[in-house]
Amino acid sequence: MNQPNPFTHNRIPFSGLLPGLFLLILLSQGLVALAAPAPGNPRPLRPDPEILKGIDLIYERQFKEAEEVFRSIIDRQPDEPAGHFYLAMVSWSRLAAGFWSPGSVKTFEWRIDRAIEAARTRIENHLIDSYDFFYLGGALGFKGRFELMKNNWISSFFLAKDAVNALKTCIKMDPDNKDVLFGIGTFDYYTARFSGIKKFLAYLLLHEGNKEEGLRKLTIASKEAIYSATEAKSMLLHIYLFFEAEYGKALDLARQLAKEYTHNPRFKVLEGVACVRMGMEEGWREIVRELRCRAGEARSLKEAGIWKRKALYLESIYDLYHSRTYDARYKLQEILDQADAEHDPAMIAWPMLKIGMSYDLEKNRNMAVSYYRKVLNMENGAGAQVLVERFLESPPGPGNPFLGY
């Protein structure tokens, strides 16, 4: 799984926030119980093939096609929250991919509010099933992410408190709802990683975390959830690669996702990062060749550029982990020289961040800070500010896991 801020020149003020990238995902899956469920049995769930199709299109980064699918669902079921929720998910996925603009942010906010309204109306009219709580909570969780972006920790934690209660409600309504395990597992894992005031607030307002239990639930969700399986796999991939140093498990998940979502270069890059971390030289080189081959086979210059930049980016990650900082900067600068702000904005801010990290590895702090500040001052930082603010406080050293992000 890639988050800038629309409030201050698109800059995220996550001072000292780690794991910020994934705590945002945590809150995005919160389920907020605003009303008790109606008595009786929940509706039997029949997985909606159109929703599944739209979700797959999102992970393939075919956002326009995904929007068409979810709009058709809304036309068919205007009063149910699912279509509205996933239409908002398309907007957020665009933002997560680096496409931030004032218009995009407003569209996201309007869509997420509409999803909340649809779910609340069903709950108020006692027409609910467990997935109405799922969609309402998910939508409110996305709004909570904006609270985090503004460093409103207290309000974010209160949203999370409601989320835990709602997750329990979902399970009570439908013990077989494996999608809920994604949210619970994420809470379990990341609250266990908190320290200081965050740990106190989590214990006071949520519950004491448990990493092992969180990983167990996420694993079940990755295999058995109906709508959240891919997100659970992506969450586990990032946890194993960037927090737990379980590179073999990360590699297996990256391979699964890269095979399933062939239009999304992100999973292929993470597969390469796992190979680098495991010392699999030939595996890493093969993935670079695959990325370059995809560039050569592309049907447009835009698509070719995206795959070529990802190949260079993966090569630069290899160089950074092997202390070849000059070589890394050469490749990163090549990416910047062929930047495409319209179609691939993430490959501007993130290479610039990596250049800063390369100078920190050389202990050239002044040059590193100058690049970090450039990212902070960008109109579209594509989420790189999350790490910039941390590295301004404490420079990354050799082997830092986020050299590979």
Amino acid making up residue 187: F
Q: Are 264 and 217 members of one domain?
A: no
Contacts of 329 (CB under 8 A, 6+ apart): 316, 355, 358
The reply to whether 328 and 403 lie within a common domain is: yes
Same domain, 223 and 269: no
Are 204 and 300 part of one and the same domain? no
Domain boundary among 195, 228, 261: 228
Query: CA–CA separation, 373 vs 327, rounded Å?
Result: 22
**335 lies in the same domain as 187:** no
What is the rounded distance in angstroms from the CA atom of residue 282 to the CA atom of residue 275?
9
How much is the pTM? 0.86
Burial of 2 (0-12, 13-18, 19+ CB in 10 A): middle
d(C-alpha 225, C-alpha 208), whole Å: 24
What tokens appear for 114 in the block? 């509409």
Q: How far is Cα 82 from Cα 46, in angstroms, rounded to an integer? A: 13
Number of structural domains found in the chain: 2
Most distant pair of Cα atoms in the chain: their distance: 66
CATH code where residue 69 lies: 1.25.40
Q: Residue 304: how many CB atoms within 10 A of its CB?
A: 16
- pLDDT tens for the 405 residues of the chain, in order: 343 333 333 443 333 333 333 343 333 333 333 333 443 345 446 789 999 999 999 999 999 999 999 999 999 999 999 999 999 999 988 888 888 777 888 898 899 889 889 988 998 888 778 888 888 877 777 776 666 666 677 777 776 777 777 777 778 888 998 988 887 888 788 878 765 545 545 544 555 678 999 999 999 999 999 999 999 999 999 999 999 999 999 999 999 999 999 999 999 999 999 999 999 999 999 999 999 999 999 999 999 999 999 999 999 999 999 999 999 999 999 999 999 999 999 999 999 999 999 999 999 999 999 999 999 999 888 878 889 989 999 999 999 999 999
Q: Around Cβ 274, how many Cβ atoms within 10 Å?
A: 27
As a residue count, the chain comes to 405
The residue range of the domain holding 174 is: 1-228
Of 137, 139, 134, 149, nearest in space to 112 by CA: 139
